[in-house]
Amino acid sequence: MGSKKLVDILSRQGYCITYPSILELETSTAYSCASNNQLCPSGIQPTSILSSGVAWDNYDRFVETSSGKNTLHDTVGTIYQNIATEEELNIIQRNDASIEAPCNSSLNVRDLAGRRKRSFEEQSFEHLPYAKQRRPKFWHSSVASTEEPQNLINFQQSYFIWLLSHNLQIPNTPMCVGYNAKIFKDDSRIQKVEYLTQINNSPTDPAVVKETIRRSLQIASECQKNFFSVTYDLTMAKIALRIQSAEDEFKNLFISFGPFHIMLSFIKAIGKFISGSGLTTILIDSEILASGSISSFLSGKHFNRCRKIHPLLSLALQLLHLERFLNKMMRTRKILENT
């Protein structure tokens, strides 16, 4: 349907413009979008009132080489922002009315002969050099709060009710996540997610990682943020932290790991504790875990399997602990009654 021959036939009949004219319009549109110096998509409000953040990850084009080297991975960024309330929209509109938008009328849409261009010439980013990387210094705080959270008692009580419900075998009692979803009201703000301009280079390249940091800093400036949160994939985050430690211009960015990798590290730490304790044998005998999956379960490499088994294992141990406590209390009560 989108072939050149079909468009030419429709153009001769007077139903549409010619194919070269379509190319000229598409090229002009591309240059018009490229002339906008802002990195924030049109759906994102460039304001400091709304909470915003950026995440960078790799995008696999599902094209792999035989050796695994030079696989076509692109770097894709996403930006998220709270959806503005009616009151916030009024404030944003008043601020926008007081600021005049710059007008950029110089578009490079004609060639040397003065004709409109029919192909878009992409301007690739500059491979910025970076200084010698130093090992990142993490902030350590020796100040510990002695006050307990105000909602700690309520949480402990609700958690014990959930554990007691499983002990009494009350039907349709969900697991911990489902239980909390039923009893707590989620007042979290709804956010919108937009894609940033894609970088057609490997995300593990230090120059590409530095470019993502530079773009994140520019987005923070457009959103009028003094400090900005940037989330990276684990491999990219390690490079980004080293670059940030070497250059002070990126110190206002808070570089964090993705929650997926944080959970994998936590699961691997739990696997270190239960390794050799006999719990894996119990899981195999109960047909919850296959004998060939012990290594991936303990190392946390199989996320879905670990996400399913660890809550079950934790609940079983807590129920055994509770039953032992109740039996001990019953024996103590009988001893006191007989004396």
Average pLDDT over residues 231-254: 88
pLDDT at 214: 92
Q: Three-state SS for 333?
A: helix
**Tens-digit pLDDT profile for residues 63-115:** 555 555 555 678 889 999 999 888 888 888 887 766 555 555 445 555 545 55
pLDDT of residue 105: 47
Tokens coding 190: 């709804």
Say if residues 180 and 151 touch (Cβ distance below 8 Å): no
318, amino acid identity: Q
Position 191 scores a pLDDT of: 92
Q: Buried (b) or exposed (e) across 242-265, using 16+ Cβ within 10 A? A: bbbbbeeebeebebbbbeeeeebe
- Collect all residues with Cβ–Cβ distance below 8 Å to 279 and sequence separation of at least 6: 313
Report whether pLDDT(192) > 90. Answer: yes
How high is the pLDDT of residue 270? Answer: 92
Over residues 283-307, the pLDDT tens digits come to 999 888 888 888 888 988 888 889 8
**Tokens 């010619």, residue?**
18
CA 299 to chain centre: 23
| Closest residue by Cα to residue 79 from 119, 50, 111 | 50
Please state the φ and ψ torsions of residue 191, each to the nearest 5 degrees: -120, 155
Q: Please say whether the beta carbons of 56 and 234 come within 8 A.
A: no
Q: What is the mean pLDDT of residues 46-58?
A: 90
pLDDT tens, position by position, 111-161? 545 556 656 566 565 555 555 556 656 555 555 566 777 788 888 899 999
Give me the mean pLDDT over the 243-264 stretch: 87
DSSP state of 110: B
The pLDDT value recorded for residue 135 is 61
Instruction: Work out the average pLDDT over 169-184.
Output: 90
